Structure 1
């Protein structure tokens, strides 16, 4: 399945609100940033994680269930939004960064601000620079449809794993 219309290179507020999948995939608007939408989406994810942690105080089982649902919902939202944008892996889709930073923070907590900032920086490094195995994961699933949308999510999950590995080695 490929789009039959010109690509939307810069989504706007109208596009964000046109479909629930757009709102999810574009990180409640954080992906609309003209500069570094992945970084802005990750910052939004960090802030949202801390807010949820404070207001909801979920258990580990609730976090695991939430992240599982976010992976599935993000996969769907990425598929729909990429198709509607007409771009197989648009940088404005940031649900993948949000899910990944939540995974990192959930598994690495407790840690103070500087530990969280280091986790943020490590994740952004792995996500943006794409060293192996993140590069492998980024190239594994391409295109439109469910396979391409899984690729959008998968490389960030691998970047999260790499971040957690570095944090584990650093701690022990």
Structure 2
């Protein structure tokens, strides 16, 4: 992880190196870091600033995941979790403020969509390659999570 700056980012500051469910560990890292930054520095981590962090993180993540995948010899290596981090930050941006129960539901829904990869997520996962492909399928999983919340709230 420390051999290249892109690896540190792509592997979620080490959260993706978990031998058990690295994607889930990356998503947990996203959840805890979002809470810590938003609580500790609320004037700095406003919804607008989070939006910019997520957009910049997505763009930088394309580079970091491309470089890391190339160095590891696997385009979408399991240890690369920056895609989960950025996507779940986007989910939290839209569902918070919310209770712990609602945030837990968001976490479980996101992990469901990310792991099961229902269409069209599966299509993007299989057909889009490189750093953009790594990042994009998780953004679509985040969209499905938010769509589910919107439908749930509309009922």
Is TM more than 0.5 here? yes
Q: What's the counterpart of residue 70 of structure 1?
A: 57
Q: What's the counterpart of residue 104 of structure 1?
A: 91
Q: What's the counterpart of residue 133 of structure 2?
A: 151
Q: What's the counterpart of residue 6 of structure 2?
A: 21
Over residues 100-159 of structure 1, what are the superposed CA-to-partner deviations in whole Å (9 max), with x where a residue is unaligned?
Answer: 1100000111111110000000000000000112112212312xxxxx110000000000
Which SS does the other structure have where 2:2 is aligned?
helix
Q: TM-score, normalised by structure 1?
A: 0.86
Following superposition, the deviation at residue 94 of structure 1 comes to: 0.1
What is the aligned length? Answer: 152
Following superposition, the deviation at residue 59 of structure 1 comes to: 2.1
Gaps of 5+ in 2: none
Alignment of 1:43-54 (within 5 A): 43-54=28-39
Q: What's the counterpart of residue 35 of structure 1?
A: 20
> Which one has the largest radius of gyration?
1
Which SS does the other structure have where 1:165 is aligned?
helix
Of the three residues 114, 117, 128, the one matched with 1:127 is: 114
Which SS does the other structure have where 1:17 is aligned?
coil
Tell me the distance in 1 between the aligned counterparts of 2:65 and 2:153. Answer: 34
- Is the 2:12–2:80 contact (alpha carbons within 8 Å) kept by the matching residues of 1? yes
Gaps of 5+ in 1: 1-15, 143-147
> In the alignment, does 2:48 pair up with 1:61?
yes
Following superposition, the deviation at residue 60 of structure 1 comes to: 2.2
Over residues 2-57 of structure 1, what are the superposed CA-to-partner deviations in whole Å (9 max), with x where a residue is unaligned?
Answer: xxxxxxxxxxxxxx111111000000000001111000110111000101111122
Q: TM-score, normalised by structure 2?
A: 0.95
